Each structure stands twice: as structure tokens, then as C-alpha cells.
A = this chain, B = another copy of it.
């Protein structure tokens, strides 16, 4: 066992850190101001500047593994970089590494035709356009993905799509030109072969962006989490990715790396919250002492450090397993980090808020916004409960055949 980062990773960590220090953190206030002052649903100048700089430095598309297009890092190698980017809410986009584009680009690399790649993947890789992923629906419990009801029906060489999606993140951004829609195409198939993924250009007639959904009062502009209605939306039949009824198959493939990315960003956010907490605890005084010397504050800092370190190791180990034995064998580990990382981040951020007093819940620190973002991650891609159930069943399965448990239902 060797817990040290490789020299290659270490060098990239230093470059990404330097970029964050030099450009991203100082840009946060600028970004906030540009969003507040102009039309909040237009891209900001500052973000485009940061993208140009990162691209010029070669810190671009680092997320993309095993392909002609990307940096060729393993999950294990990219994970520590995602952590650093995650320290700022602005952090991933400058490097063209933000969700849901990363997952969409990976999907396109694997399953798109050459024409589709030319049309959508290339401008995504170059950062000219953005994309969205339309899966979650307001009308059904998304914890059970097979509940999805939005329909795509084949008519000749076209799909006709109808339904309602929400939490289609990024769809409010005018740069969002392409969506991957997931919906019911083969209702008579086996439970996990009824749904397909279909490319839907955002400007197709019948696609209606209804509203941005706020998260604890934050609209996340200009990105935005959209509610979208599809009314008789028609796209070519070949826009279906991989094949009819294979939506869940694709979903499985994109989930693993996506979780590593999200979790490492969560850990980065937790690290930044811990840093802010320490600095506040050392500099603020009450009852004649720095806060760090009062009551259980030092314990909160210690617990935060412990929890973050554990979450990071768990995530890196999951990445290692994905790289070495594959997503399927790593399924329990991937579910574990999905539960741990946002919960740890929330705990740490909440403690950091508490030690900041009123400043912590306002926008004078990034903490409240961090909290809101992390809170959604206990729901996105399946709520904690679904993942815990999977982990638990896997564990019991070591001793009892799964059929035995089912039979006794």
C-alpha cells in the first residue's frame, strides 16, 4: 500500500492550486457582482476569462479519461484535482470540468456517432457550449429511477417526446445547447430496459424551460436548475444513444466517475469551510479568549479534520477500485462515498457557520451557499436512503444469497 500521490498528480495538484489561488478565489466576488448587476441568466465575462486562462495553461478537460480527447487521467489521478476545484463554487467551470457537462461528454465519447460528436462533443470540449441532463421528474419519487414517466415514442424515423422534467441543471444558461433526455421508450421491457437516452437540442420546438428552481433561496444563476416541459418534441431516431432500452446501462457507466467527482468536490468544499473555521476561531475573541479556546470549539475543529480525512480516503479508495477492478465490483464503495461525502461536508460547513455567527448564514462567507449546494447532493443521483439500502444488502449478501432474502419478503 502506498498512500502518497504520484509525482504526476502532485505536480498537477500544485498547478491547479496555484491557478485557484491566483485567479479563481479573487474572481469569486467579481462573479457574484457580475451576476447580480446584469441579467443574471447570461454568462459572465469573468468566467470566460478564467476559462481562457486555464485552457492556455493546459488545465483543461482534466476529467476525461481513456480517450483521444482528454487528459487521460485515471479516476484516482483526477480525484485530487476535483477536490481542489471544488473548494470554490466557481471552481470547476474554468477548467471545463463541471457537471453535468463532464458526464455528458463522457457519454458522448462512448456512445455518440461521429456526426453527433462533431456537432456536440467538440464544442463542449472546447468550452463553447454547455449541456444538460434531463432525468428527474416532479411527479414521481426519483429515488426509484424506474418510476420515470416522460415518454419518447417512435414515429417513423423520429422520436416524439412528451413529459416533464426538473432539476435539469444548467438548462437555464443560454450556452446550454444540448440535452440528454432520459425517458420511457419501451414500457413493456424488463424493468431496467424500458428507458432510453436521447439527444435533444435545447432549441428544438416544444422544449420549454419553465423556471429555475431555487435551492434554499439560491437560483445558482446563470447555471440554474430548470423545470422543463417537453411537448411533442421531435428529434431524429438516431439521436438515441447506444440503443433503445439501454438508458440504465449508460446511466450505470456515467454514475461511477460522476460520484467520484462530486464527492471530491464536496471534500474540497469541506476543506475550505474548515480553513475558514480555523481562521475565525483563532482571530475572533469573546470573553477575553479566541473562540478556539472556548467550550467545545476545538472539538468541532478536530472532528471536522477527522471526518474529512476519512471521507477523502474512502473516496480515493473507491476511485482506486474503479480503476483497478471496475465499477461493478466497486459498487458498494461507490455507494458509500455517495452517502459519506455530502454528509461530512454538511457537518463541517454547519460547524463553520456556527463559529461565524451571523456572517455564516449570510453571503459574506461562501458557507451558506456551500451548505445549500451540498444539501442537494444528499438527494441528487439517489437519496442517501437508496444508497444505504444498497450497501446494506450487499453486506448481507456476503453471508446469505440475495434470493433467500427476497424469497422471505
Please report A residues at the B interface, Cβ cutoff 8 Å: 1-6, 76, 136, 138, 140-144, 147, 166-167, 213-219, 274-275, 278-279, 281-287, 289-306, 309-311, 313-314, 316-317, 320-321, 324, 332-333, 336, 339-340, 353-354, 357-364, 368-369, 371-372, 375-376, 378-380, 383-385, 387-393, 395-396, 398-400, 404-405, 408-409
Contact = CB atoms under 8 A, between A and B. Distances in A.
B278 A396 contact: yes
B292 A392 contact: yes
A277 to B, nearest CB: 9
A353 B342 CA distance: 15
A109 to B, nearest CB: 25
Given A6-B1, A216-B217, A306-B340, A299 B296 contact: yes
A408 B294 CA distance: 12
B216 A278 contact: no
Residue among A143, A219, A409 facing the most chain B CB atoms (10 A cut-off): A143
A76 B2 CA distance: 9
A378 to B, nearest CB: 7
A276 to B, nearest CB: 10
A278 to B, nearest CB: 5
B399 A141 contact: no
Contacts of A214: 217, 362-363, 368
Given A3-B320, A298-B393, 16 more contacts: A1-B3, A1-B320, A3-B317, A3-B321, A141-B286, A142-B358, A144-B286, A279-B399, A294-B385, A296-B385, A305-B391, A306-B339, A309-B333, A354-B378, A354-B379, A358-B380
B305 A336 contact: yes
Contacts of A354: 378-379, 383-385
Nearest to A346: B350
B405 A302 contact: no
A278 B313 contact: no
22 contacts: A1-B2, A1-B76, A3-B316, A147-B285, A147-B286, A167-B358, A214-B368, A217-B218, A217-B219, A217-B369, A274-B395, A282-B400, A289-B409, A293-B409, A295-B389, A298-B388, A302-B388, A305-B395, A306-B340, A309-B314, A358-B376, A358-B379
A399 B275 contact: yes
Which 3 pairs between the two chains have the least Cβ-Cβ distance?
A217-B217, A296-B296, A298-B392
A392 B301 CA distance: 5
A405 B217 contact: no
A2 B5 CA distance: 9
A388 B304 CA distance: 10
A403 to B, nearest CB: 12
Contact of A1 (B5, B143, B387, B409): B5
B306 A358 contact: no
A287 B3 CA distance: 36
B396 A2 contact: no
Contact of A311 (B4, B138, B310): B310
Residue among A142, A297, A375 facing the most chain B CB atoms (10 A cut-off): A375
Given A2-B1, A2-B320, A378-B354, A361 B215 contact: yes
B408 A293 contact: yes
Contacts of A340: 306, 310
